[in-house]
Structure 1
Amino acid sequence: MSSYAAAYLDDGRSICWFRNGVDEFFYMLFTEDDWIEIHGRDALTFMPGDVPIEDAQVVGFQVSARVLRDRLDLVGVSLAVVAAQLQRLVESEAEILEGLRDMFSDSDDFTEYEREIEYLRQITWDSWLTQLRLGIVRGDSVDRFGRRESLGTASHLMAVWEDFDPRYPLRAVLETLPDDALITLDLADLIEGGWLEPSIDPQTVGRRVALDSSEGLLPPVVLAEGRFDIEVLNAALRLRRPHLMKFIRFPDFSHKNEGGASALRQTLRAFVAAGIPNRVVALFDNDAAARDVLRSVDEDSLPSNIRVTCLPDLDTATNYPTIGPHGQQPMDINGLASSIELFLGTDALTVNESLVPVQWTGYVRSLGAYQGELLDKGSVQRKFRQKVTVATKDPHSMATQDWSALDLLLDHLLDLIAQTLTPPSDSGSE
C-alpha cells in the first residue's frame, strides 16, 4: 500500500508531494531542530475534510520561508539558477507543444495548443513569478495533482516543473511568500506506512547520499527516448543479466505522450541542472532524428558522471530492407533508422517470413539525410512481448530465441557506465 508525504503552505495548500519516500536532496533541507508534531484541531489545516479531529496529526518538519530560502541558496538552488532553468523549461515545453500542434493540426486540440504556445512564448521569469504570486494570494491550488488547470493559474504555472528536482519549484514558491510564512513537510503517512524512520537526521541522509555518490555507489541510471525503450531494457536486464537487476535503474519519465530524441534531451538537461549525483547514461536512437538533436548537446560540457550515447551499430542493419520513393531495396540504416525495435531479435522482426522493412519518412535538411522508421512497430513489439513471456516462464527457451542484439546493447551500456568510474589517465605519466 502506498504512503505519501507533502509540503504545505500555512493554509494547507500543498506545494509538492512524494510517494513512498522523500527525495533525498529535498529531505536534507531540514534538520532535527525543525521537527514538529501537531495533533488535533491545529493539524486539521493539513488534513482532508473528512478526518476526525481526534485522528488529525502532522509529524515532520516546519521551517520558515526565509530559512528555507537561505538553505536552498547555500546548496546551489539560488533564485538566479531557478530563473534560468524556468526559462529553459518554458522554451522546451513550447517546442514540444509546437510539435504536437503540427502533428494534430486537424484535431480539436489544435486551437488549445495554439493558445498555450502563444502564452508560453510570452513568459519571462519576472512575469511568471508575478503571476504565481497573484495566484497564491487569490487562493489558487499550487500542486495540480494531475489536473489540467487554466492558463495563468498557480497550478498551471507550476506544472512546468513536473518531474523536475522538487527543490526548484519550492525555491520559486518561497520567493512569493513573506519571510515568516511556514512550510510544513508532513511525514506522518510515510512513518505509519513504514517507509521512513523518524529518528534519522535528514543531514545524515544527505551526507550518506553525498558519500555514496563520490564512491560511485549510487545506482547508475539509463535514460531512453520512450516508454517502450525502458520496457525493453528492463526485460533484457531481468532475463539476460538478472544478477544486475538491483544495481542499475531504467526509470520511465515519459508521463506525457511526447517522446523521442527531443524529449530525452530535455530530461538530460534537467538531470544536469539538478546536479543528479548518480552516473547517468542517456541512450538515444541511432537514427537521423537523434543525430540532429545531438548536434545541440555539448558533450564536453556535461558533468563527468553523465554520458550520452546512441544505440550501437548492428550488423543486421547494414543490409536491411527499406521502402522509399524508388521501391524496396536493402540499405545500411545504422545512423538513419535504427531504433530499439531493431534490437528485439530477428525472431521478433520477422513477419510472414520476411523482416519488417523500414520506411523512409522526413528529410533532415541539417544532416542531408532521410529519417526512417520501422513500418509495423506494433507487430514487432507484440512479438517481443510474447517472446519475453515465454522466456520468463521458461528461461531455457532463450537458447532458441535471438537475444544477440540486446546482449550487444547491454554490453555497450555496461561498458559505458563502468567508464564513468575510471579516473582519467595522467597524460604526463608513463
Structure 2
Amino acid sequence: MGSYCELYIGRYHVDSFKGHVPSQLAIIFRDTDLVVSQVPYQDYYSDPPEDCDDDYATRYELVMSLNCAKDRLNLLGFTERAVRQQFLDGIEEALQEQNELRELREGVMDDYHESEFHTLQQLQQYGFDGWRRAISALIADCFVSNRSNITDEAYSKTLSPPYSVFFERRDTFLGFPVAEIGMFLRAVIEDIPSEINVILDITELIGGGYYLPDDHICSGTVEDALSETRQFDKILILTEGKSDSRIFERTLRILYPHLCEYFSFMDFGPSKTEGGAPALVSTIKSFAAAGINNKIVALFDNDAAGVEHWKYISSTRLPSNIKPLVLPYNRLASNYPTVGPQGEVEVDINGKAASTELYLGESVLRNANNQLIPVQWGSWNHKTLVYQGAISEKGEIQDRFDAAMDSIESKKTQASDFDFTGLRSIFEMIFTEVATM
C-alpha cells in the first residue's frame, strides 16, 4: 500500500507523493523547517502505533510561512512574472494541441477532448487573475471554515462558472496548465491570507521507515540532484575580498536565515591579502572559462576602482549564469565627510569611495566622538574620471560590526536594534537579479 507525504497550503490538500519527498519540494523546504508535535493517533492510524503514548502519536511536518515560501521560490526563478507567463503559454500550447487533434480527426472529437477543449477556452477567457482569485478563495475558505478534508470535486459542485471550470482538469494542479509544483505554489500564494503556512506532512514516510526522524531529508535529496540541474546548485557570491564575504555571509544568516542554504560565498582561505576589483575580474574570467553552471553574482564596491572594473567585465561576453553588479546607491554616502587636498568636505561619494563598510550602518561608522569616520581621498582614476577614496579606520569599523553581529547572534540584542538599511539594499538587489538569471 505504501506511505505518502502530503502537501498542504493551510488546510487545503494540494497533492500526495508516494514513498519519498520529491526533489521539487526538497529544494523549497529546508530541514530547519521541521516541526515535531503530538497529535491523536487517529489522525494517522486506525490502531495505536508501537511508539504511541497516551493515545497520541508523533507528527512530523515541514512548515514555512508564505513570505518564506515566496522568497525561496523567487530565488529559484518562480517569480510572479514567470508564473503568469507560464500560465498564458501553457493554455496557448494546450489549445494548439487540441486544434491539431481536431484537424487530424476532421472535427470529430470524443466527449473527453470536447470537454478539455471547452475548459481550456474558458481558462483562457478568464485568464491568470481569474484563475488565481478562484484558487485563493478555495484555500482561504478551507482555512477559515476549518475544513481539512474537502475534495476538489465536492467543492466544485458548490461553485458556479467560472470557478467550477478550474476543477475540471483532473491531471493538473487545479487547472494550472504547467505540471510544476513550484510554479503552482508561487502562483497561488500571492493572494491568500498571510497567516496561512505551506506544509509538507512527512509523518507517514517516517512511520513507514522511508526516513529516520533525524535524517536530513531535504538537503540529502538536493545533494542527490545537484548534478542534474542548475536549479539545485547553490548561488555563488564573489566579492572583492574576504572581509566583504564574511560581512555578507553573517548578514544573510541573521536577516534571511531561511535563504542561507541557497548561497555560498567565495572562500579566500588563510590569506591576509584583500583581492580588490582587479582580482575579482580575474576570478570571474576563471569561473566563466571553467564552465561552472551555478548562478554566480560578483559584487564590486561602489567606488572608482569597482565601477571601472565592473564596466570593463560587463562589456565582455559572459555566460548568462554570471552577473557582475556594483553595490547599490547609498543614501548615507550621498553627503559624507571626506578629507583631501581641499580640506574636510562633505560630498557624494557614490561611485567614488563607497566600499562595503559604508553599508554597515551609522552606529559602526561613528567614532568615539559620535562623528562619522571620514573618507580619505587618494589617486585620480583616469578611466572613471573621479578620485578614488577609502574609508579611514577600516579595521576598527569591521571590528565594531563583528561585535554587533556577535551580540545579535548570542541573543544579547535584537536584529531590529541594528541599522541594516544599507546591507538590506544589497541583498534586495541580489535577490532581484538572481530571480531573473
Place the TM-score, normalised by the shorter chain, in its bin.
Answer: 0.3 to 0.5
* Higher Cα radius of gyration: 2
Q: If the length of structure 2 is used for normalisation, what is the TM-score?
A: 0.47
Q: If the length of structure 1 is used for normalisation, what is the TM-score?
A: 0.48
